Each structure stands twice: as C-alpha cells, then as structure tokens.
Structure 1
Amino acid sequence: MRRHGSFRTRLALGAIVAATAGAVLACPSMAADVRTGAGPSGGGNRPNILLILADDLGYSDIGAFGGEIQTPSLDALARSGLQLTNFHVSPACSPTRAMLMAGTDNHVAGLGTMAELPTPEQKGKAGYEGTLGTNVVPFPELLRDAGYHTYMAGKWHLGMTEELSPPARGFDQSYAMLQGGAGFFDQTGNAPPPDGKGTTKARYRENGKPVELPKIDYTTNFYTDKIIEYIGSNKADGKPFFAYAAYTAPHFPLQAPDHLIEKYKDTYKAGYEAIRNERFKRMQAAGLIPANMTPSEPPALWPKWEQLSQQQKDVEARRMAVYAAMVDALDQNVGRLVSYLKEIGEFDNTIIVFLSDNGAEGNDILDLVPAAWVEETFDNSLDNIGRPGSYVGYGPGWGHVSAAPFRLFKAFPTEGGVRSPTIISYPKLAHRGKIDGQIASVMDLAPTFLEAAGVKHPGHSHKGRTVHPMQGTSLWPYLNGRSDRAHPTDYALGMELFGRASIKKGDWKLVWVNQPWGTGGWELFNLADDPGETRNLVDAQPEKVKEMMASWDEYREKNGVIFDEKIAGQLQYSNGTRYYQELEW
C-alpha cells in the first residue's frame, strides 16, 4: 500500500508554522532539522568552501581508495585530510545533486526519480517532478544571502529553464551544462535528435542565460578555468566564497586527450579479475576494508575476461584506458584548483570536499540511446575510442572493477552503487590523516557547510514560501573535534530510486533489488562482517528483518516514497544484458 498523506500534509501545514516564524526562529533547535554548533572554528574568518563533484566515479578508482589510476592531487588531499569510507549518495546523478543542494532526501527535493526515467506510477506525483523543488532552500542561496560569493561550473542537471538554473538557486556566477551528460571536446549532446539523424547540441547557461560553448580543448579543463576565473574576480574584496566544481568526468561518452590515453594503453590488458584483485589487496593493506572481507562477485550472466574474444579484450582494454585517462585529467584539475588556492593565500582557510555523485556506470549506455544511432553517427573503431567523434561507455566488467570491493554499481542501492570515495580536507580539521568508517551521507553536507559558515537554515518558511527543513546532520561538530561521532549508533538511512530500495541501521542493511540483479525480495546483510553483501541473512534473522522493515516503513512514510515492486523491472536502463553482444562493432 502506498502512503503519502503524512508527509504531504505536514508540508501543507507549513503556512501555520510560518505564522509563528518569529517564535520558531528564536529557538535554534526548532528553526531547522539540523544540528547546529558554534559556527566557524576558532571564531575567526569564515572559511571558504570548495565542493568538487565527480560524475560516475567508482569507489576504488582513485589511488587513495585503492586504484591504480594516477591521482596524486586527490591522494595528497586524502593524506592530509579525512577519508570517509562509509559515505553514501543516491544510486544516480540528479537525485544525489538534489540531496546535496537541499540537505534532504531526494523525494522531498523533487527528484524521487530522474526527469528522464519516470514510470507511470510516478508521473505527476509530488516529489517526482524531476527538478529541484521550490519547497526546499538550496544551501548556496543561504550562503549568498549571508555574504558569501557563490560560484558554480559544470553539470547542473536540476532543471533546464532559467527559473530553475543556478542563479535562481543561489549562485552569483555560473557556467552550467544543464543535462545529464555531453561530449568533452565540443558541444555535442548525449542524445539523438528527434529524427535520429546526426547529433544534438548540449545546452549550457552562463549566469542563467543560454550560451554556446566556446572553442575549448577539454571540458574538464574548461570548468576549472571558470572556477578560477570566478574566484579571481572577487578575491580582493575579502568576502568568503563557496565554489562548486561539478565535473562531468568520468561520465560517458568516454573521451580524453590522446596523451593521457596513451599513458594507460597497456594497463588494462590484464583484464577485469586481475585489476580488481590488485585493488582489493591495496584496499586491505591500507585499512580501507576489513582484512577478512569477502568481495562481491559480478552477476553470473556476465562473462569473465578469459571468455572474451581477443577483439573484445582489445576494445575493453581501450575503453578502460580512456576512462582512466579521464580520471587522471580530473585529478590534474583538482591539482590546479589546489595550486590556485595556495597561490592566492586561501588554501589554509578553505574546506575542500571531494565526492562522486553515485557508483560507477556499469550499465550499458545503449539502453539509454538507440544502438543504431550510435553506430551510424559515431566512429567507435578501436583507435578512435576516446577521441572526438566517439561515443562509448565501459560496461559491467569494468563497472564492477570500479565498484570494488562492493556489489553492483550505479542505479542500484547496493554498496557499489551508493558508496562514494569521499575526502574532506581542511588544515583545521581535528581528524587529519584519518580513515573514518562512520556512516554519513550527501544530505549531511549542506548543514555542515552552513554551520561552518555560521549560517542557520530558516526552518519551515523562507521569503514568504513554505519550505522543508533540512534532514541531514551537520558533521561540523565531529570535524572540529567537539563530538566523537557524526551520527548516533541507531541512525537509520533510507534510500529508494528506480523501484529499488534499502534501509541501513547500525551494522545492518535491508535491500530490495529486482531479478536478475537481486532476489526480487528483501535481502538482509550485516555490513560489519559482510560489506560485500555476499551472505543474505533474511531467513536466519527474522526479528532483525522485522525491525528493519519498521524503519523502512517510517522512512517511506516520512519522505513520500512511491514503492511498487513492479517499477524496477519497467526500466530498460539498468536492466539490459546486451553489452557484450554489441561489443564487436
């Protein structure tokens, strides 16, 4: 049975709450569903904030998290900062971005599903609008109103119109790619035109106005250029800044500069299993995962490396080399941002947060766009893969490697789909150089940033409209040493997307995934013993299942989740099994 009334009724009653706003705002504990503290550490200058978001980056891709890809800039931030190994995002991009901006669950913020993929059960329903809702207050707006400069460059994916663009949601200056993805060398869009002939143009807005992408060398470099330009434009006025570098790498189409592809051309000829096993060993040695952990195995329907033809192996090794080159380029641009902050004397006063929007993209991108269009429009010959005019993803084999050591990848609420390799760097952190396995989520970042800046969320009313309080918890007390935990031990984190769902509480996780990726029923795992989700305890622990189902029902009711076990099987995306049949073009 679907239950929506309680949440929507509470929101409708916001007008009554707004009538007593003066009393509410007089009490910080009532003003917002956010744990607040004493503001900026040390009471001095308010910190700058640099938020770096990768797109479809897998958990173990960067060096600090066990990967073989060369990422010295991110590795340095991890060594001097805090590595969060149990940090959770949504299984897909725009829902995570909504949670990030709003500090709420994705269903509360309007992204109960992606705008591109609603099912009949979801169309027209509250919470499933496919854009960042006006019932939430994006934290950049609050920072801007409190005297921060706010900058953004890169992927937006929260609304296409000017009224839904970054300036309308709190950004002073912005250069936004509006859609889910685009080419990296020019303005080529990610989807076919209505007649299926040729290509479309990706849509960009600068400061809310439509613009053509200028001649560039590579979009990852271009977005960094814009962030540096924006910061530099106001650096003399002494005001703090929030900068959001929303890179599109390494989202498909996989494209990278030739010299970086060349760097990795032989690395992945060893195949899926060899690369994944090496990552697993490095993660164990670094203390990133339990020493006795059993890694997840890919679904049996996918072939092993040894079962591929030589032509398939060549194509797969090339695709992964391009992917690695994209991550390498991303890291180099992180290095550019860090170097610039040091050059202008702001590094020591800047909180830097790095994360990915979801797990690795191991699904077949040809379940999103017609295979015939790709074949007719692009040159995906072996030597052109990754170059201008190509259009490929890297499929389930490498997706499972990127997600190592976890189960599945993007689009799934399993650990491989929702654990992000997250780094927080700030010279004033109380936990520098530490690897931390406490649970946290992307919802926690907005309240963390606000508290660090000494800014309070308005609660239920903002500028004459009813809004939803933040649901995340500020990590600031933990980060600056005033608390020894980010969340209480009985904290429950629910999640739903594409009809797949999970609830985590303590060491336990209850998860529902459709066949053939799961059982088509609820599965129970003890993540302390089995973070790879390899031993289903649903039959052995009936009382725990009952407890977890009660938490799931509470989450579903609170956030207006439409959950129907038929939804997951309706989607072509993330249910396709044709990848290897289409690999030998």
Structure 2
Amino acid sequence: MKRKSITINALLLLLSLSVFAQEKRPNIVLILVDDLGFSDIAPYGGDELQTKHINQLAKEGTKFQEFYNNSICAPTRASLLTGQYSHKAGIGYFNVNLGLPAYQGFLNKESLTLAEVLKNSGYSTIISGKWHVGDDFDQWPAQRGFERSFNFVGGASNFYEINNPDSATVSLYKNNEPFYLTKDKYLTDEITEQAIGFLKEQQKDNKPFFLYLAYNAPHWPLQVPEEETQKYKDAYSLGWDSLRIKRFEQAQAKGVFPKGQAITQRDSSIQAWNRLTYDEQQYWKRRQQVFAGMIDRVDQNIGRIQKTLKELKKDKNTIIIFLSDNGAQGGERNRIYTSRTSGTVGSAGSYDVQNSNWSQTGNSPLRSYKDNPYEGGISAPFIVWYPKEVKANRIKRGTGHLIDIAPTLYDFAEAKYPTSFAEVETNQLPGKSLRSLLNSDQVQVERDKPLCWERAGNRAVRYGQWKLVSIFRKGNVWELYNIDEDRAENIDLASKHPEIVKELAGYYGDWAKENAVIDYRKIQQQRIIR
C-alpha cells in the first residue's frame, strides 16, 4: 500500500511538473489587420491617428523597418497561417480554384496551419475574425486545427450585418454554426467580444493558448460608428499632398524609414488637393475620417484584449504580434461599389472603398499600393511585444517575411513541426525563426536565399540590398532598385547593372520551379482571369 501511494505521488508530481512546464510556454496573440498602409498608425508616421494601445506595443516592443507580406489578402493569409510561400500552400492567386495545385484557392493538407501544429503541441487554439483561405466547409478554421472559432469565410464583410440570414452579405459562423449580428452591433467589436469569450472559456483547459485575431478593418466598406469619425473632423484639412510629406518626415524621425532617403514620387494620376473645390475637399476629408475611425476602433479593441489578458493574469507571459496583410488599397485596379451604397460614407448603408488619393498617404513614404510588389504593396507595419524576452523600444532593419512567423512562434512555443501529419508528408518550412533577432542586438535576418514574390503576373525578388520588380501590365520588364539607398523605388538601375538583373532573375526562376509558379500568361489563356 505504501509503495502504491509513493507511485501515485510520483505520478502526480510528474503531472504537476508537466503542467508547470506548459504554463511557462508563452501564450500567443497574433493580430492581423486588413489593408493598413505603412504609415497608417502612429508608430510608423501617422501621428494624427489615436492608436495608444498599438503605440504601447511599439514602445514596449520591437518594430521592423522592413517586413514583407504577399501584397493581397488570401495569399498573405496562406503564408501567415502555414509558414509557406502562398503557391506552396495552394493559394498562388487568390481564394479561387484555377484547377492547378498551386492555385487551388484553399490551403492544402501538406501545409500545416499554426493551429494544427500548436494544438498538436499542447496549445488551445482560437480564431476570431476573417478567414479567406478556403470557402468549403472542410476548409474552414474548425477543420484546420482551431478548437474555438468565430469567423466569416470570405474576403470582405459589411461591418453592420443584420440579424437576418437572408440579408447578410457575408455569413458569420461560430464553431461552424451560423451566427448573426444583432442590430447596431459593429463587427470589429464583435470579433473582440467573441475572442474575449473564448479566452475566458480557455482558462479551464489549463494550457497555453494561441489566438489568431484577424480584424477586417480598415478594409472596405468604409463603415464605423459616427463618434469615431467625429474624432478626426479636423485631422485631414491639410489634404493628402501635405499629409503624405508630413508622414514621411515623421516616419524618418521615428526611425522606421531611413534618414537621407527621399519619399516616393507622387502618383500623377491623383488630383492635387489644392485644385479641389471646397465641397470636394469636405467629401474626401470625411472619407479619411471614417478610415481613421476604423483604425482607432481596432486600437480600442486591442486595448480590450490587453485588459482581458491582465484580468486573467496572462499578460506577463503572452507574445503579441501586430501586422497588416498588405498596403493600403489603390491603383488602377481599385474597386468601386457605388451601386451598393444607400447611406452616407461611414454609415451602415455605405459601401465606399479607399482610393489612391488617401492610400498614397497611407503607404507613404513607400511606392504603390496593395496588389503590387513595390514596397507600398508588400511592406507594412510589424510589431512584436513580449517584455520577458523581446527588446523594448527597438527598431530592427528586418528584412522579415510572413514565412518567418511560423518558425518564430514554434521556437517560442517549443513546438516541433512534424515531417508528416495525418498520414500526409508535410511541406517543410522555408522561413527563419526571428527569436534570436528579437532578443539580441542583431538587426537583420541572415538569409542564404532571396525572398521572392508572384501574384497575378507581378513578380519581385529581394536579396541583400537589391530588389528586382516586374509588373505584368507594364510588359513584365525587370526593374532593379537599391533598397539600401532608395527604398522609395524612385531610380530604376536595371540598365546600369544587367549582371545583377540576370543573377536575381535566375534566382526567381529557381524559386518559381520549386513553388510550382506558372507563367501568368498561360493562366490567362486557359482561365477566365483578367
């Protein structure tokens, strides 16, 4: 009897030590916002925006000057969630099935999600917000490792969905069951409300947690409660031309854009602010007020998450990562949904879209917009907060990429990425853990391979100081930029350095083969894609 008692006590001790070890592993909150430009928050130059909670994360954490995404929603989310290049994960174009493995429009089984790996490693897994990496039921979050889920499946949602299944433009789901917002509920708030509820439920699991908090703001439609819009009634009177310069200067002063470098050249397609009539200026000011209000509301909700973590006594052992899926929307492929609008911009009846005029300010000092491989399309804010290990008030050069987030989180979580999962051989991770970069004086990710991009025929390569870019609609001619001296991509050096163009183009060709990238012209010939 005595020996049996000793054995039971030993087992209990081992169990308690195991639980203790699990509790020492950090909780993870991964915050993704939608269509936020490089300088659309105060830590990156947008000082007129009231983002005090994001400001706190930046002050107590680390910011990156250069952190890369995939220029548009679904491909970015594919890389973020799997640690793979988007083609390797099955979403090389968008959440549209083009009949090819790299373009099937949903995450393949070989590319494990953060939730699948972390759940397998003893974490509770939660999503609240936008999914956009698989439309069919078997591709939803609950079927890809998330134990608790509140989400909409597609790419955009009205922020004021009404409690009527027949009128909802985008369906919401909670743990695979239909969910409808009650009248006057705002979706950004509800995403947070559901996340908080899940975090409180998760307390009983006695495990560390992973929360993927995917806000759809400030993506169109431009809608926000009027009190947020009114906070910014005087903020945008100076107009987009002056504000883009001001943001550039503030970004330099904050150290997120190199001093001594120039701002990107002005987009000549945008009308000068001082050429607008008074009424036109009032109209465009309000649109930017709404956009700012949407960002402000996200910031307030991040504050609610922080408060909940503190109440649950989880704040001191939680990593928080904040990033955007791409730059601000604009350019020649900008969408217009005026036929859907039945109310003033910002109201529940509006369906307005952000335009190039203010988006050039949002991406300032960088060039171009969402869905392009120039810096304004593929680079956005990236902040990591974890006072236990991550250096406070630091700026890293970077050059980080979405593919680095999965290995970084697995490093912190002591989670092993398996070579096979559910009898499927997994795609191995191409990225680098950023942990040693974040907890040391190192400023740059050390890579032995270049970073590459392809999206709808637009291509890019980044290796060291050099960046190669080609735009499909401009004839796919390679342009070359020295990012160390010209991050604004004002001076094309391709004709001066043909040997560098050839070398980087060769790297791109190897990467394209490795990731099953197809020449976009062939896709156009065979598919109904424009």
Pair in the same fold by TM > 0.5: yes
User: 1:378–1:389: 8 Å Cα contact kept in structure 2?
Assistant: yes
Counterpart of 1:544 in structure 2 is 500
Q: Letter of the 1:473 partner, please give it.
A: K
Counterpart of 1:161 in structure 2 is 136
Counterpart of 2:399 in structure 1 is 439
Q: Distance in 2 between matches of 1:569 and 1:92?
A: 23
Secondary structure of residue in 1 paired with 2:381: strand
User: 1:162–1:209: 8 Å Cα contact kept in structure 2?
Assistant: no
Q: 1:525 aligns with which of 472, 481, 493?
A: 481
Q: Distance in 1 between matches of 2:490 and 2:157?
A: 36
Q: Letter of the 2:67 partner, please give it.
A: F
Secondary structure of residue in 2 paired with 1:387: coil
Q: Distance in 2 between matches of 1:274 and 1:78?
A: 26
- How many residue pairs get matched? 509
| Larger displacement relative to structure 2 (563-572 or 250-259) | 563-572
Q: Distance in 1 between matches of 2:266 and 2:514?
A: 34
Q: Distance in 2 between matches of 1:544 and 1:491?
A: 15
Q: Distance in 2 between matches of 1:468 and 1:514?
A: 29
Q: Distance in 2 between matches of 1:85 and 1:50?
A: 21
Answering whether residue 78 of structure 2 is matched by residue 103 of structure 1, we say no
Counterpart of 1:73 in structure 2 is 53
| Larger displacement relative to structure 2 (235-244 or 438-447) | 235-244
Shift in Å, 1:417 = 0.4
Answering whether residue 182 of structure 2 is matched by residue 222 of structure 1, we say no
Shift in Å, 1:413 = 0.7
Answering whether residue 313 of structure 2 is matched by residue 354 of structure 1, we say no
Shift in Å, 1:139 = 1.8
Q: Letter of the 1:558 partner, please give it.
A: E
Q: 2:387 aligns with which of 427, 432, 448?
A: 427
User: 2:33–2:325: 8 Å Cα contact kept in structure 1?
Assistant: yes
Counterpart of 2:37 in structure 1 is 58
User: 1:495–1:501: 8 Å Cα contact kept in structure 2?
Assistant: yes
User: 2:64–2:256: 8 Å Cα contact kept in structure 1?
Assistant: no
User: 1:188–1:202: 8 Å Cα contact kept in structure 2?
Assistant: no
The Cα offsets for residues 270-325 of structure 1, whole Å up to 9 and x where unpaired, read as 11111111111111111221211111124323322223343332221111110000
Counterpart of 2:285 in structure 1 is 317
Q: 1:503 aligns with which of 433, 455, 461?
A: 461
Secondary structure of residue in 2 paired with 1:435: strand
Distance 1:256 1:490, change over 3 A: same
Answering whether residue 230 of structure 2 is matched by residue 271 of structure 1, we say no
User: 1:46–1:453: 8 Å Cα contact kept in structure 2?
Assistant: yes
Superposition map of 1:226-375 within 5 A: 226-363=194-331, 368=335, 371=337, 374-375=338-339
Shift in Å, 1:368 = 4.6
User: 2:161–2:180: 8 Å Cα contact kept in structure 1?
Assistant: no
Counterpart of 2:6 in structure 1 is none
User: 1:360–1:402: 8 Å Cα contact kept in structure 2?
Assistant: yes
User: 1:406–1:531: 8 Å Cα contact kept in structure 2?
Assistant: yes
Counterpart of 1:493 in structure 2 is 451
The Cα offsets for residues 9-52 of structure 1, whole Å up to 9 and x where unpaired, read as xxxxxxxxxxxxxxxxxxxxxxxxxxxxxxxxx99711000000
Shift in Å, 1:199 = 6.2
Q: Distance in 2 between matches of 1:357 and 1:203?
A: 22
Shift in Å, 1:93 = 0.5
Answering whether residue 145 of structure 2 is matched by residue 170 of structure 1, we say yes
Counterpart of 1:582 in structure 2 is none
Q: Distance in 2 between matches of 1:496 and 1:554?
A: 13
Distance 1:231 1:199, change over 3 A: closer
More relative contact order, 1 or 2 (CA 8 Å, 6+ apart): 1
Shift in Å, 1:247 = 0.4
User: 1:47–1:351: 8 Å Cα contact kept in structure 2?
Assistant: yes
Counterpart of 2:411 in structure 1 is 451
Shift in Å, 1:70 = 0.9
Secondary structure of residue in 2 paired with 1:108: helix
Secondary structure of residue in 1 paired with 2:149: strand
Answering whether residue 445 of structure 2 is matched by residue 470 of structure 1, we say no
Distance 1:130 1:304, change over 3 A: same
The Cα offsets for residues 95-139 of structure 1, whole Å up to 9 and x where unpaired, read as 1111011100000111101125x7xxxx21121011111221112
What is the Cα-based RMSD across aligned positions, in Å?
2.6
Q: Distance in 1 between matches of 2:55 and 2:71?
A: 25
Counterpart of 1:414 in structure 2 is 374
Aligned-pair identity in percent equals 35
Q: Distance in 1 between matches of 2:525 and 2:367?
A: 19
Secondary structure of residue in 2 paired with 1:141: helix
Q: Letter of the 1:317 partner, please give it.
A: K
Secondary structure of residue in 1 paired with 2:66: strand
Shift in Å, 1:486 = 5.6
Q: Distance in 2 between matches of 1:568 and 1:435?
A: 42
Q: Distance in 1 between matches of 2:524 and 2:464?
A: 27
User: 2:61–2:390: 8 Å Cα contact kept in structure 1?
Assistant: no
Shift in Å, 1:236 = 4.0
Secondary structure of residue in 1 paired with 2:356: helix
User: 1:53–1:354: 8 Å Cα contact kept in structure 2?
Assistant: yes
Counterpart of 1:564 in structure 2 is 520
Normalised by the length of structure 2, the TM-score is 0.91
The Cα offsets for residues 520-559 of structure 1, whole Å up to 9 and x where unpaired, read as 4110000000000000000001111111111111111111
Normalised by the length of structure 1, the TM-score is 0.82
Q: Distance in 1 between matches of 2:267 and 2:70?
A: 22
Secondary structure of residue in 1 paired with 2:330: coil
User: 2:396–2:443: 8 Å Cα contact kept in structure 1?
Assistant: no
User: 1:148–1:242: 8 Å Cα contact kept in structure 2?
Assistant: yes
User: 1:56–1:361: 8 Å Cα contact kept in structure 2?
Assistant: yes
Q: Distance in 2 between matches of 1:569 and 1:398?
A: 35
User: 2:437–2:445: 8 Å Cα contact kept in structure 1?
Assistant: no
Shift in Å, 1:213 = 3.3
Q: Distance in 1 between matches of 2:433 and 2:444?
A: 8
Answering whether residue 127 of structure 2 is matched by residue 152 of structure 1, we say yes
User: 1:498–1:568: 8 Å Cα contact kept in structure 2?
Assistant: no
Q: Distance in 2 between matches of 1:455 and 1:400?
A: 40
Q: Letter of the 2:324 partner, please give it.
A: S
Answering whether residue 471 of structure 2 is matched by residue 513 of structure 1, we say yes
User: 1:492–1:505: 8 Å Cα contact kept in structure 2?
Assistant: yes
Distance 1:386 1:141, change over 3 A: same
Q: 2:71 aligns with which of 87, 91, 101?
A: 91
Counterpart of 1:36 in structure 2 is none
Counterpart of 1:4 in structure 2 is none
User: 1:316–1:394: 8 Å Cα contact kept in structure 2?
Assistant: no
Distance 1:469 1:484, change over 3 A: same
Superposition map of 1:5-16 within 5 A: none
The Cα offsets for residues 390-426 of structure 1, whole Å up to 9 and x where unpaired, read as 1101200111110010000100011000112010000
Answering whether residue 2 of structure 2 is matched by residue 46 of structure 1, we say no
Shift in Å, 1:567 = 7.0
Secondary structure of residue in 2 paired with 1:107: helix
Counterpart of 2:442 in structure 1 is 484
Secondary structure of residue in 1 paired with 2:63: strand
Q: Letter of the 2:468 partner, please give it.
A: L
